[in-house]
Structure 1
Amino acid sequence: MPVTRINPAKVLQTGAPVPADAPADLVNGNVIANSEGLKLFVVNEGASAVTVTFKTSATVEGQAVSDLTASVPAGGSRVFGRFSRVLFGDQVEFTCSAAADVVAYA
C-alpha cells in the first residue's frame, strides 16, 4: 500500500491556525513534501517510547546511507527539521514504531 501523505500547514507572518494532529500510519508509513522550513512535530501520548525512522534516499559510492532514527519519550514530544535534500530528497518518508500524532509546518 502507498504511504500516507501529510500536508504541512503554511506558516505566515500574519499567523496561521494550528492544524489538527494526524495519526502516524503504522502500517504504510507517512510522507511529506520536503522544504527548507519543514518542521515535523511528533507527539507520543503512550506509556513507552516511540522510534521514528526517517528513510534516506542518498548513496555514497554506491552504498546506501543508513536511515535516521530518533526516539520520542513516553508522554513526550519532539520537533524534527532541517531535512537535507541530499539525504532525504524531495519527499521525507518516515515511520513510527507505535501510535503517535504528527503535525507538520512549512
Structure 2
Amino acid sequence: MPKEWFKRVYVCTKPFMFMVFLQTSYAVKNLVVKSALNKGLNHYIFAVYRNAIAALFFGPLAFFLERKVRPKMTISIFLKIMLLGLLEYVFGILYCYFKNGSEKKTLNTERIT
C-alpha cells in the first residue's frame, strides 16, 4: 500500500516538482548572468555563449530523440520554411515601421512623397 501511495503522489506532483526545478534553474541562471555582467562581460558576448551552449546541448538531444518522428524534408516543406523565414524578417521591419511612425528610425531612410 505505501508503495502505491508514493507512486500516486509522485505522479500527481510531478508537474509541480518540475515547475519548482524550472524556477530554481531560472534563479541560478539569473545569478550567474548578473555576476558575469557585473564583472565586465559584454552582453553580446554572453548572448553568443548562451546560444552556443544551447546548441551544443539541444542539437544532439533533438537529433537522437526526434530522428524517427520528423517528416521527410521535401521541396514543399523546405519552401514553407523559407517563406516563414522571409515573413519573419518582413513582419519585423513592418512592426518597427508602424511602431516608430516612420521608416527613418528603422531603416535610416526618409520617405519620398
The interval holding the TM-score normalised by the smaller chain is: under 0.3
- Provide TM-score, normalisation by structure 2: 0.18
Structure of greater relative contact order (alpha carbons < 8 Å, 6+ residues apart): 1
Report the structure number with the largest CA radius of gyration.
Answer: 2
- Provide TM-score, normalisation by structure 1: 0.19
